[in-house]
Structure 1
Amino acid sequence: MARTALSRDQVLDTAAALVKEHGPAALTMRRLAAELGTAVTSIYWHVGNRESLLDALVERTVADLGTLRPHGADPAERIVSVARLLRRALRDRPHLVAMVHERGLTEQMFLPAQRALIHEAHAAGLRGARAAELVRAVQFQVVGHVLVERNRERSPAQSPAETELWAARSSAGTPDEDPALARALAAPVDTERLFTAAVGALVAGLLGAHTGPEPSTR
Structure 2
Amino acid sequence: MPARRTRGQRAGLTRQAVLEAALALVDREGLQALSMRRLGNELGVEAMTLYNHVANKEALLDGLVEQIVLSVAPPQLDASSWQAGMRDFAHALLTALRAHPDVIPLVVSRPATTAPNLHVLESTLRSLHESGFPAHRALDVVYSVTNFVVGHAATMSAQNATEQDTDDDQPGPLLDLDADEFPFLTAAMRVEPRIGAQGRFDFALEAMLAGFEAARTSASAPEPGPDRRREQP
TM-score above 0.5: yes
C-alpha separation in 1, matches of 2:163 and 2:204: 26
Distance in 2 separating the partners of 1:18 and 1:156? 23
The equivalent residue for 1:210 is: 216
Q: Deviations over 1:54-83 (max 9, x none)?
A: 633533542552463324771110111222
Give the alignment's Cα RMSD to 1 decimal.
4.3
Q: Percent identity?
A: 23
Structure that is richer in helix per residue: 1
Q: TM-score, normalised by structure 1?
A: 0.61
Number of corresponding residues:
193
How is 1:20-99 mapped onto 2 (pairs within 5 angstroms)? 20-28=27-35, 32=39, 38=44, 42-44=45-47, 46-48=49-51, 52=56, 55-56=59-60, 58-59=62-63, 61-62=65-66, 65-66=69-70, 68-71=73-76, 74-99=81-106
| Distance (Å, rounded) in 2 between the aligned partners of 1:136 and 1:157 | 29
Give distance in 2, aligned partners of 1:45 and 1:184. 56
Deviation sequence 1:1-43 (CA, Å, 0-9, x none): xxxx76425554333211123223223566556656x4xxx23
Q: Higher relative contact order by CA 8 Å / sep ≥ 6: 1 or 2?
A: 1
Q: How far 1:206 sits from its partner (Å)?
A: 1.5
Give the conservation status (yes or no) of the 8 Å contact 1:91–1:146: yes
Judge conservation of contact 2:23–2:64 (CA < 8 Å) in 1: no
What is residue 191 of structure 2 aligned with on the other side? 182
3-state SS, counterpart of residue 75 of structure 2: coil
> Is the CA contact (8 Å cut-off) linking 2:108 and 2:150 kept in structure 1?
no
Counterparts in 2 of 1:145 and 1:28: CA distance versus 1, 3 Å: closer
- 2:147 is aligned with what amino acid? F
* More divergent stretch after superposition (139-148 vs 53-62): 53-62
Match of 2:207 in 1: 201
The counterpart of 1:162, out of the listed 161, 170, 178, is 170
1:124 partner amino acid:
S
Q: Do structure 1's residue 138 and structure 2's residue 107 form an aligned pair?
A: no
Structure 1 SS opposite 2:216 = coil
2:156 corresponds to: 149
**Residue ranges of structure 2 left out of the alignment (5+ in a row):** 1-9, 177-185, 221-233
